[in-house]
Structure formats: C-alpha cells, structure tokens
Structure 1
Amino acid sequence: MHETEKTALIVIDMINTYDHKDAERLLPSVREALPRVVHLLERARERDVPVIYVNDNFGEWRSHHGEIVETALAGPHADLVEPIRPDDRSLFVVKARHSIFFETPLGYLLSQLGVGHVVMCGQVTEQCVLYSALDAHIRHLRVTVPADAVAHIHAELAEAALRMMERNMAAEIRTAATARL
C-alpha cells in the first residue's frame, strides 16, 4: 500500500433483520464475525478512517438509512446490530443487489474521498463480499478482506470465495487484527 493511499472501511449488509430464507444458516457465522467487525470499526474511528456502511434496502424502496437501522434495531436480532450501529460520522449507501457498487454512488463517493484502498467486512462472504471485491478490483481499488470479519452461509463456498478474491482479484486476505487501516 502506498503511504499516501487513503483507506475506507466498508461494512456490508450488517444492518439486518435476518428475516430471510438463509438466516438460520448465516446467524452463527455472523455471531462469530461480529466482535472482529466491532474491532475494525473501533480502529477505523480512532484513526479517522472513513466508515461506509453499504446495505441492502430489502426491497423497501421508500426506506432510507435511518429507517433501515431502526427496523433492524427493533427486530429479534438487535443484539447483532447494536454493537455496529452507525455513528454520526459514518456514511451510508443503500444498495439493491449483491455488489456494493451496482447502481450505487459508492464509486463516486470513494473518488471524492480520495480512497484507493477498501477494507471490506460484513456479509455474505460467498455472495455480496465476493461480488463487491470483484467490482472494486475492476475499478482499480486495492482490496483487503479480513477473513475473520466476514460471515458466510456456506463455509466451503466462503473459503473458495476468499481464495478467488486473493488469487483473481489480488485482494489481501488478512485478519481483522492485521488489516491495514
């Protein structure tokens, strides 16, 4: 990483009600990854690294980020949302599909912030994280994925996705403790 290259922490789809068909398979992995996501958020905020939440809108086309957060906090899995709730400095981008870049203003936002390196944490490793890492790579962004700060539905697919990100997208696969912010 270049010394002058700015980094952003991107939290993918963690503001969630877990009201979907794969939730029961996903929840144990989310619980395992959550402390490391919290750690990344703390480190980023201490260093004034931009924190950007990119979150699914769950098909609620009239919702905004505040409503998404409040709905998740009112749900049965608020304990998974409260520790990583966005603060007043956090940025929030709403997405509708798997990639954090697909038809969102994220690319423009990153360029405005002067970001050339993204650290991606959140869920789901073998879906949204994988597709987002590819989209970041084709935009010439450096990508780091802390393997212990991403949650999966299928462990074997998540392992394959992490290997693909490392091999095919030149992503740094690290731990949350060693990810460079």
Structure 2
Amino acid sequence: MSTPDRTALIVIDMINTYEHEDADALLPSVREALPVLVDLLARAREREVPVIYVNDNFGEWRSHHGEIVETALAGPHAELVEPVAPDDTSLFVVKARHSAFYETPLAYLLGQLGVGHVVLCGQVTEQCVLYSALDAHIRHLDVTVPTDAVAHIHEDLAEAALEMMRRNMRARTVPAKEIDFERLRPPGRT
C-alpha cells in the first residue's frame, strides 16, 4: 500500500448528459473548464496519480459505470464528455446524492490507496464540489480545488462556495496550472 500522503484526482459528475433543468446555465462554464480539466487529467495520469470518477447515476439504479459513460457519450453533449472520459486506469464510484462521499465506498477506496490529499475538479462548484470538499475535510483529508477546473451554474454562488472551502475547510484553491502532481504534498504535511 502507498504512503498516506498520496494524492488522488477526483473528477465529479463530468460524465453527464446535460439533460436537466440547470443545464443551459451550466454549459458555458463546463465549456470554459473543459480544456483545463483535460490538461489536469493528462498530467495526473502521466504522474500515475489515481484518477477517480465519482458520478451521479441519473436515477438508473441498474446502471454500472460503463452504461453511465455510454449514455453520456450518446447524449446531446458528447463533445463535453469524450475528452474527459475515463480511461482503462481510471477508477469509478457511483453516487446518488451531492457529496462524492455520501453512502459511497470512496472513503474506503482512498484509504486502500493511501490517499491523504484529494484534488477535486468537475461540477457543480456550488453544489457537489462544495459538499464533497466538506465531507473530505471532516474525514481529515486535505483538499485542493483547481478554481479553473470546476464548473458552476451561478457564478456568485460558486465564488462564495470557493471562499467557504478556503475558510471553513482549509482547502487550497488555486489555478490548475499551479498543481504539480510530482511535488504536490498535502497542505500542512511535511
């Protein structure tokens, strides 16, 4: 098993059909974040950082991760899914609520991987990313959120969410280009 200082990249809800009521408000932000996410994923994979997708199941309780990906790729916005689709080395956790941790095996998986630090990216900043950051914090994980690799519905609420993550969860919020997976150690650890 790896040391407890290992970092994992958590990709939240990017496998999406965008067939929900807030999609029109979300899509511009997803398009803006997409190139940054693609680069972040490539850098993490190059450094053999665990990449874990945590994704809604769209209410399809018989779906597994392959079906979720196939459904999103067959949807009206496949061009937003294909560049960030999981590869053969990616791990996948299905969630049903906002937090990546709520009633999922994510905390156990991170423990098995020796992860003490998570980099959270994806969507939606003021919802699933915020709640996942809180749940990571209360599990004593260090959190980094690349501010340009998260997408929002409401820009003002996203800014407030990022400020809450910084103040209340001691999250590091930085542009993705400042994340160096080779040197990255959890904040506050030596």
Shorter-chain TM band: over 0.9
TM-score (norm 2): 0.93
Q: C-alpha distance in 2, partners of 1:73/1:23?
A: 16
Offset of residue 4 of structure 1: 6.9
Alpha-carbon distance in structure 1 between the residues aligned to 2:58 and 2:73: 15
Where does 1:40-119 land on structure 2 (aligned, <5 Å)?
40-119=40-119
TM-score by length of 1: 0.97
Residue of structure 2 equivalent to 1:152: 152
Partner of 2:185: none
Per-residue CA shift, 1:5-63, capped at 9, x if unaligned?
Answer: 10000000000000000000000000000011101100000000000000000110000
* Aligned counterpart, 1:163: 163
| 1:180 CA displacement | 3.7
Contact 2:9 2:119 in 1 (8 A): yes
Alignment of 1:28-43 (within 5 A): 28-43=28-43
Within 5 A, what are the aligned runs for 1:121-140?
Answer: 121-140=121-140
Native 8 Å contact 2:59 2:96 kept in 1 = yes
Name the CA distance, whole Å, in 2 between partners of 1:4 and 1:180: 18
CA distance in 2, matches of 1:90, 1:109: 13
Structure 1 counterpart SS, 2:176: coil
Q: What SS does the aligned partner of 1:162 have?
A: helix
The residue type paired with residue 93 of structure 1 is: V
Give me the whole-angstrom Cα distance separating, in 2, the residues matched to 1:175 and 1:50.
20
Secondary structure of 1:135's counterpart equals: helix
Instruction: For residues 96-150 of structure 1, give each alpha carbon's deviation from its aligned partner in whole angstroms, at most 9, with x where no partner exists.
Output: 0000000000000000000000000000000000000000000000000000000
| Aligned partner of residue 136 in structure 1, secondary structure | helix
Number of residues of Structure 1 aligned to a counterpart in Structure 2: 179
1:173 maps to what in 2? 173
List gaps (5 residues or longer) in structure 1.
none
Identical counterparts, % of pairs: 79
For structure 2, list consecutive stretches of 5 or more residues without a partner in the other structure.
182-190
* SS of 1:86 mapped into structure 2: coil
User: Is structure 2 residue 10 aligned with structure 1 residue 10?
Assistant: yes
Is the Cα contact below 8 Å between 2:4 and 2:114 reproduced in 1?
A: no
| Counterpart Cα distance in 1 of 2:90 and 2:4 | 22
Does the aligned pair in 1 maintain the 2:4–2:115 contact within 8 Å? Answer: no
Aligned-residue RMSD, C-alpha: 1.0
Once residues 95 and 62 of structure 1 are traced to their aligned partners in structure 2, the CA distance between those partners, rounded to angstroms, is 13
